[in-house]
Structure 1
């Protein structure tokens, strides 16, 4: 996938990592970048083309797929995070909200734009996932981690199904990124610009998965440890 002269659609593009993707794509020579947001008036990246996109609204996704027939790169970035224990009475509603945005919304976009990408030579899809696709922080990220774990599984399925139309799928995993979503989390964070830089380089290199920081690499290694990282430390 070449960034130069590509036409991208970025979901959740009005702030944080999404806005950084828009800036990075334009700086990398993309011919056009559609910046999707619930309120397109909140998109303020010079050169971007704001479009209305709420990934939980199937009719908006279908409308964009009919209108944006020049897209060659889909960046599935939109996501939400709600913190809390899964035994809380509110957990089921929270799980539904996060699955709708973090899991079902990206799948709907991939389904809708797969024919568009095929018609334009194949192109690529970026799935913005997380180190928390593989790890849960007890009492905090159960529902969020579940939505990202499901997103990871669906991305792996999509990668195989998209091969026949020559569409690349890149899964992006990172720990905490210095955006509004992780503002309340202590500790080191990657900059959105660094994550975007690595993602675009991985796309151009034809990669299928990117572990973009030390946290995601450490968690990934821990999946096959003698005591897997997702089991936590013994009591």
Structure 2
């Protein structure tokens, strides 16, 4: 994908990784719609702020109507409530699923015909190493990201005949607000992660593994779990 010919929509573009993705896409020559629940919080000069709440159906459809020239969708918006699945609040579990799974599903469904109508393009889903690694304390987040990984794989097969490549970005902790309490030496630079993601999109890479921990976990997926 040549970013000079790209019209990108980045969800959650007002902070963290999403802000870096929007900024770097703009630097590479793309037209960028920076989507956020509150577009007034988008502070990247040169992008087009638009309102998009991934949990709001009307908001999603309105954004697809506004960004009717889109050829790249980056499903970046997400939350983490640090909720365990059994002892935690079921309301929090539902919120994470609504945001991290049903959100990108709804946005992809809305933008797929737009991207197809513009000659094809790509979708990038921002996932996590916890798509594959499921610690109990982050069970809700891990379950939602695992579901989003399944969404990515199924949507890739479904959208390929329509000229749309679907890729996943997997990464561990990043130096963003979501991981504020994590020691600095365990966190990746979100600017570097964004650069890796865009290189992957350029090359058509289907799974972009942005740090060493993520690569090690992915390699170990074939290991048989033996509780004894």
TM-score, structure 2 length as denominator? 0.96
Gaps (5+ residues) in structure 1? none
Map residues 1-235 of structure 1 onto 2, 5 A cutoff: 1-30=1-30, 32-90=31-89, 92-138=90-136, 140-186=137-183, 187-227=185-225
Q: Residue 218 and residue 89 in structure 1: after superposition, are their counterparts in 2 closer, same or farther (change >3 A)?
A: closer
Change (3 A) 1:225 1:93: same
Q: Quick check: 2:3–2:25 contact (8 Å CA) kept in 1?
A: yes
CA deviations over 1:23-49 (Å, ceiling 9, x no partner)? 11011111x111111111100001111
Which deviations, in whole Å up to 9, do the C-alpha atoms of 1:67-88 show, x marking residues without a partner?
2111010000000001132222
Supply the distance in 2 between the matched residues of 1:157 and 1:35 (Cα, whole angstroms): 26
Taking structure 1 as the reference length, the TM-score comes to 0.93
Structure 2 Cα separation of the partners of residues 217 and 76 of structure 1: 21
Q: Which has the higher helix share?
A: 2
1: CA distance, partners of 2:210 / 2:168? 10
CA contact (8 A) 1:2 1:203 kept: no
Contact 1:73–1:117 (CA under 8 A) maintained in structure 2: yes
Q: Give 1:5 shift.
A: 2.6
- Where 2:152 maps in the other structure, the secondary structure is helix
* CA distance in 1 between partners of 2:134 and 2:146 (Å): 10
For this pair of structures, how many residues does the alignment match?
Answer: 227
Unaligned runs of 5+ in 2: none
Q: CA–CA distance in 2 between the matches of 1:65 and 1:85?
A: 34
8 Å contact kept, 1:33–1:48: yes
